[in-house]
């Protein structure tokens, strides 16, 4: 009876995406263990029933994109940290994997994500009611935005769903193949954090998102591995 219940729970947690990846630095053993424990409690799977796949995060010395100063982009701020460069490169590497493999939808996670079990099940249950999207941020906050944020509420069984742009944070999001191509194109040159760039990219593609805390949050008990500038 217990085995049947576990199998049923896993089926209910299948998200209709081709792959689920989470980004984790090789040295971040505690963060990896904490996320693995969390994913035992919230056993999300892709549409084929496969578990989330670990992607070894890149560092600031492993980038293949270009770097420009914030002032060159028309903004101001301190130079990018090595962590910001590595984070940007890690997300771009997964974008390239999605594009190369023609995966229609991919879920991107960072290793500090924490997903609410009941809410993700409710989201899966009502998935067919979602509007068409290229960028789906499952946990966004408001911060400074390069173009000015414009969001509109979307009627949905779960509250706090919006369409628009300027949805910061990259710990839990889904991209369509078209969205991945646009994000790859617009992230080849980095001046700010990946969050800042994605907030701007959302102005040019179909973007929806749940406000922070509705579906997922970031675990704040562990120190960030990135120095933000």
Q: What is residue 229's predicted lDDT score, i.e. its pLDDT?
A: 63
> DSSP string covering 101-122, please?
HT-SEEEEEETTEEE-HHHHHH
Q: Average pLDDT of 68-86?
A: 83
Q: What is the pTM of this model?
A: 0.92
pLDDT of residue 9: 46
> Is residue 49 over pLDDT 90?
yes
Please check whether residue 75 is in contact with residue 146, taking contact to mean a CB–CB distance below 8 angstroms: yes
At residue 194, does pLDDT exceed 80?
yes
- Collapsed DSSP state (helix, strand, coil) of residue 216: strand
Q: Which residues contact 12 (CB under 8 A, 6 or more apart)?
A: 121, 124
Mean pLDDT of 213-225: 84
- Percent of the chain with pLDDT strictly greater than 90: 77
Q: Coil, strand, or helix at residue 115?
A: strand
Q: How far apart are CA 158 and CA 35, in angstroms?
A: 25
* Rounded-to-integer distance, Cα 43 and Cα 50, Å: 10
**Residue 43: DSSP 8-state:** -
For the beta carbon of residue 71, count every other beta carbon within 10 angstroms.
10
Closest CA to 184 of 164, 166, 204: 204
Each residue's pLDDT tens digit, 91-104: 999 999 999 999 99
Q: How many CA atoms lie within 13 A of 217 on its CB side?
A: 7
- What is the bridge-based pairing of β-strands 161-164 and 151-153? antiparallel
Structural tokens at position 221: 């008990």
Strands 207-211 and 161-164: what pairing? Answer: antiparallel
Average pLDDT, the chain: 90
- Token pair, residue 114, equals 């924490």
């Amino acid at each position: 009876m217990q085995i049947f219940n576990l199998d049923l729970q896993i089926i209910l947690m299948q998200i209709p995406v081709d792959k689920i990846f989470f980004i984790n630095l090789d040295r971040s053993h505690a963060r990896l263990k904490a996320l693995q424990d969390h994913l035992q409690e919230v056993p999300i799977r892709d549409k084929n029933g496969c578990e989330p796949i670990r992607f070894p995060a890149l560092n600031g010395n492993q980038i293949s994109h270009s770097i420009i100063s914030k002032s060159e982009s028309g903004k101001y701020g301190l130079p990018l940290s090595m962590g910001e460069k590595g984070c940007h490169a890690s997300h771009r590497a997964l974008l390239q994997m999605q594009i190369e493999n023609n995966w229609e939808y991919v879920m991107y996670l960072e290793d500090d994500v924490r997903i609410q079990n009941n809410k993700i099940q409710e989201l899966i249950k009502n998935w067919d009611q979602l509007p068409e999207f290229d960028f789906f941020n499952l946990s966004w906050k408001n911060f400074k935005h390069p173009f000015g944020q414009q969001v509109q509420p979307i009627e949905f069984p779960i509250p706090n769903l919006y369409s628009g742009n300027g949805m910061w944070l990259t710990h839990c999001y889904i991209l369509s193949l078209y969205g991945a191509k646009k994000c790859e194109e617009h992230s080849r040159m980095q001046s700010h954090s990946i969050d800042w760039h994605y907030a701007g990219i959302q102005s040019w593609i179909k973007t929806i998102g749940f406000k922070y805390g509705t579906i997922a949050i970031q675990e704040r008990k562990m120190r960030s591995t990135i120095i933000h500038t």
